[in-house]
Structure 1
Amino acid sequence: MKSVITKYKILIVVFLGLLSASCNKKLDVKPQDTISPDQIKTEADVTALLLGTYDDLQYYDGFGQNYQLISDLIANENDISFVGTYADYRRAANRTLDRTSTVAEGIWLNGYRAINKANIVLSKLDVVSADNKDAVSGEAKFIRAVFYYELSGFYGKPYSDGNLTTNLTVPLVLDAVVNTGEIDKAYVARATVQDMHTQIVKDLQDAIAGLPADNGTRANKYAAYAFLSRVYLAEGKYAEAATAANAVIASGVYSLTSSFAGAFNNASNSSEDIFGIQQSEQSNTGSSNFGIITMFDSNTNGDRGDVQVDANQPTIYEAGDDRGSFYYDGKSISGITGLYTYKYSTRYKVVPVVRLAEMYLTRGEANLRSGAQVGDATPLEDITTVRDRAKAPSLSAVTGDDFVTERYRELAFEGDKFWTKKRLKLDIGTLAYDNDKLILPIPERERDVNTKLTQNNGY
């Protein structure tokens, strides 16, 4: 049994990481992880805390690395090879994680740290001006929805598995926890898939209603539409998925970069980045820290190079396709030579999370599967838009399988295959899409302090 001291530390890490003292300059609105909830008295304080949630999005246990990497390791089918020395990443690649996994713990802790910040922001809207309240609320709900969507996919069976009212995801905590006396608010049982998806959709719809069209590099209403299209696609609600993706495309705010290479390694968002993680020298991208660049970039460039492209992966591309040559030779920090993707080859650049190319593929596939026509392009025209940019050969007709393969080509190493396989009930290697090995264990340390948490089968 955990000691009282250890239990207290766990609560601090998960829910009260905001409580250490900070210099609260009212007019200097900066991202905050360390503002005490009882100091949140002004709109500037709320904004500072809201900006602090982007640190969690950017962190290596978020979109800074593990949301993409762990997804790809679990869904791996001769796509990548983990050649590093980190045992837990190797276990993820072998689908042999256990309930004490540091990867499973880290993703869980980071997610709930961000969710609690968002919940605190939502609990403090009374100090936000009427002009800004909808936008602040919308941004907090967007962030909460994104984290819940990722967590539910990692720790629960997919929506496509059915059994929506019995299959479990993660605890759905909507109340702010600001001190140890309120910790019971967080000690709840795991939510069902249905309840979780209902909340995620509601949060994203609220975000669309409240967020502005232009919010700098932060989330805007089109980022919320883009994530909503992912949720609807996962639910098999194709008309709704096409409508959400079309809202992004038809906005005219985004355009594909002129070349496939132009979509990556940019100092700021490219023309097709609907939502991206802004990186800097302080953003876990250096060789001494975890980070997606550290893992995917060759040691010849000073990084670890722990993740290599499998030699078979480039064979999925057709002759002339620029994406099929978007690789280079390098080596890992331990001297293992191999192939690396250019997608994450330069430090301190934007890490794309949702790109316009995905929206074309989503709208086209969703229209094809629904038999409807949302937007001004046919499914063949949508897939052609993406393929033309890559200089891939022209297609005369298109099927659902073509869209799946195109997602594998366009969105390789961006974490998409995990979600695509599960939503379409496609085997991953020799495992069925809903095999127990394809979800993470509920961290044992969480079950030690919250006895309402049940463990996933197989752990």
Structure 2
Amino acid sequence: MKKKVFIYSLALSAGLFFTVGCNNKLDVQPTQSIDESQALSTSRDVEVTLIGCYDALQDIDVYGGAFQYASELLGNNGELGFGGTFQNLLEMYNKEITKANVTAAATWRDSYVTINRCNNVLSALDKVDEDKRQRIEGEARFIRGSVYFELVKLFAKTWGDGDNASNPGVPIVLTPTRVVTEANEIPRNSVAEVYAQVLEDLTAAKTLLPETNTIYATKYAASAQLSRVYLMQSNFQGARDEANEVITSGQFTLAPNFESLYNTFLNNGGSSPAEYIFAMTVTQQDGVNDMNTFFGTTISDIPGTSGRGDIRILPKHISLYEPGDVRGTFFITPTNNTFTRKFLDTFGNVIVFRLAEMYLTRAEANFRLGTAIGATPLADINVIRTRAKLKPVTTVTLESILKERHLELAFEGHTLYDIKRNKGNVGTLPYNSPKLILPIPQREIDVNPKLVQNEGYN
């Protein structure tokens, strides 16, 4: 894989202690470690460590790409083609994943690095200036809860597939890992326990975070994530209410043109559109968008484009759009292969949540519940259709709502989870096939014998 030279280590301890400090003295001797009593001794120390949490969150093996493309490749049902050479992605595309899969290993490791950084922040809240403490706790808990949610979706049976209380999820670690001992060898918590921790973190984050917070997490980012968690649990009332809160907040607006949502550096000088609820910010100095790496391609007459062009869009997907749907023309075929135009921008921000998803979630949840909180399902679907330059419909069904969701949010990381929560199939594989779950990395099992491997990988 292109990314890094891996140093063998226990992933639960890989982020043993992250901090960046600033010292005005010029004669500081270089060291490889720092005593924890000094590392997080001031509010500034904790604030800088929180920035490290965001840095870890936007890692290419976390929300910088892997969380999203893993869902798209594993959930692909003949709508995507793969022409790359990376074995780890090819395994996901073919649903023939090995215990040595590099994406699985790096995503596990880097996710726990992110979690450990959050745990360091949360352990030192008493050092934070009082006027900042609530926000900093909220941001750290939002990040930690979000990462645990993604981990349990990728590495465990989906919610409702058997007994949530006994199905193994992922290990829950809530305190900083600074010295590796046998105490760090912990088993996997259950799926139910992981979801409970996710909800605890995100619910707390929602109450602690401000409504606006520049490029960082807000209470509405927490609400958007809560709506996804509740949707995975088929808690349609919770999903509806969180989505409705985001929509009615007035903080976000649908972009008037679908095309303007993407390629934020090329089209918007690096700023995210008003429709984005939360995104991974990429600049010319920092950040990588690995969705661009694998879905994008270099177009010679569009400066600023790049990408390997590994993931191509097949006719089966394009045929799903109605005539006149601008989303159905948002593709480019520079040679013999067709690519989505969503991820052409080398420095495009990585979408995590946008407002259209909230409309689609509210529509689906209201339809299933027979309610019309905020708006009717029909009205919400027509908002999305109108933006796509389609005629409004007069009736909706669950199938038509789910199709609208699939087309609007295509390639943005929803495919596998929408299939799983609706108990669908991926080709001939049922939603609960072990082939649609990533293996616990073998190197983690080698150093932690309490970790149980997923079915099909022994």
> What TM-score does the superposition give when structure 2 sets the normalisation length?
0.91
The residue aligned with 1:264 is 262
Q: Establish whether residue 299 from structure 1 lines up as the match of residue 302 from structure 2.
A: no
- Counterpart Cα distance in 2 of 1:369 and 1:56: 37
**Aligned amino acid, residue 163 of structure 1:** D
Which of the numbers 273, 276, 284 marks the counterpart of 1:273?
276
Q: Establish whether residue 233 from structure 1 lines up as the match of residue 228 from structure 2.
A: no
User: Which residues of 2 match residues 304-319 of structure 1 at below 5 A?
Assistant: 304-319=308-323
Distance 1:76 1:8, change over 3 A: closer
Which of the numbers 421, 424, 434 marks the counterpart of 2:422?
424
The residue aligned with 1:51 is 51
Contact 2:16 2:116 in 1 (8 A): no
Which of the numbers 327, 331, 343 marks the counterpart of 2:331?
327
State the Cα distance separating 1:280 from its structure 2 match: 1.8
The residue aligned with 2:354 is 355
**Aligned amino acid, residue 384 of structure 1:** N
- Counterpart Cα distance in 2 of 1:21 and 1:234: 34
The residue aligned with 2:78 is 78
The residue aligned with 1:440 is 438
The residue aligned with 1:122 is 122
- Counterpart Cα distance in 2 of 1:185 and 1:211: 33
State the Cα distance separating 1:374 from its structure 2 match: 2.1
State the Cα distance separating 1:14 from its structure 2 match: 4.8
**Aligned amino acid, residue 406 of structure 1:** E
Distance 1:107 1:339, change over 3 A: same
The residue aligned with 1:31 is none
The residue aligned with 1:156 is 156
State the Cα distance separating 1:350 from its structure 2 match: 1.4
**Aligned amino acid, residue 111 of structure 2:** G
State the Cα distance separating 1:8 from its structure 2 match: 9.1
**Aligned amino acid, residue 248 of structure 2:** A
CA offset digits 1:325-383 (Å, max 9, x no partner): 0000135xxxxx300111111111212111100000001100111123322x1010011
CA offset digits 1:104-141 (Å, max 9, x no partner): 10110110000000011110111012222111111111
User: Helix, strand or coil: the match of 2:333?
Assistant: strand
**Aligned amino acid, residue 364 of structure 2:** E
- Counterpart Cα distance in 1 of 2:433 and 2:115: 28
Contact 1:318 1:393 in 2 (8 A): no
Contact 2:439 2:453 in 1 (8 A): yes
State the Cα distance separating 1:21 from its structure 2 match: 8.4
Contact 2:366 2:377 in 1 (8 A): yes
Q: Establish whether residue 108 from structure 1 lines up as the match of residue 108 from structure 2.
A: yes
State the Cα distance separating 1:248 from its structure 2 match: 0.3
CA offset digits 1:283-338 (Å, max 9, x no partner): 454xxxx822121111344431111111221111111110000000135xxxxx30
Q: Where in structure 2 are there 5+ consecutive unaligned residues? A: 1-5, 25-31, 265-269, 300-304
- Counterpart Cα distance in 2 of 1:117 and 1:102: 22
The residue aligned with 2:345 is 346
Distance 1:448 1:364, change over 3 A: same
Worse overlay, 399-408 or 245-254:
399-408
- Counterpart Cα distance in 2 of 1:20 and 1:253: 33
CA offset digits 1:376-425 (Å, max 9, x no partner): x1010011111111112321111111111111100000011111111111
CA offset digits 1:259-290 (Å, max 9, x no partner): 001111111111100011101234454xxxx8
- Counterpart Cα distance in 2 of 1:320 and 1:274: 28
Contact 2:89 2:103 in 1 (8 A): yes
User: Helix, strand or coil: the match of 1:353?
Assistant: strand
Distance 1:9 1:436, change over 3 A: closer
Worse overlay, 292-301 or 138-147:
292-301
The residue aligned with 2:302 is none
- Counterpart Cα distance in 1 of 2:454 and 2:307: 35
The residue aligned with 1:254 is 252
- Counterpart Cα distance in 2 of 1:35 and 1:330: 51
Which of the numbers 387, 390, 393 marks the counterpart of 1:392?
390
CA offset digits 1:220-265 (Å, max 9, x no partner): 0000000000000000011111000011001000000010011111
Contact 1:257 1:271 in 2 (8 A): yes
Contact 2:16 2:177 in 1 (8 A): no
Contact 1:20 1:35 in 2 (8 A): no
- Counterpart Cα distance in 1 of 2:193 and 2:296: 39
The residue aligned with 1:144 is 144
Distance 1:114 1:22, change over 3 A: closer
Aligned residues: 433
User: Helix, strand or coil: the match of 1:343?
Assistant: coil
- Counterpart Cα distance in 1 of 2:280 and 2:379: 30
**Aligned amino acid, residue 433 of structure 1:** Y
Q: Establish whether residue 364 from structure 1 lines up as the match of residue 352 from structure 2.
A: no
Contact 1:246 1:374 in 2 (8 A): yes
Distance 1:185 1:363, change over 3 A: farther
The residue aligned with 2:174 is 174
Distance 1:120 1:209, change over 3 A: same
RMSD of the alignment, in Å?
A: 1.9
- Counterpart Cα distance in 2 of 1:435 and 1:397: 34
The residue aligned with 1:95 is 95
CA offset digits 1:416-441 (Å, max 9, x no partner): 11111111111111111010000000
- Counterpart Cα distance in 1 of 2:196 and 2:263: 35
CA offset digits 1:55-103 (Å, max 9, x no partner): 2221110121111111100000122112111111111100111111111
Distance 1:58 1:21, change over 3 A: closer
User: Helix, strand or coil: the match of 2:450?
Assistant: coil
- Counterpart Cα distance in 1 of 2:241 and 2:175: 31
State the Cα distance separating 1:178 from its structure 2 match: 1.8
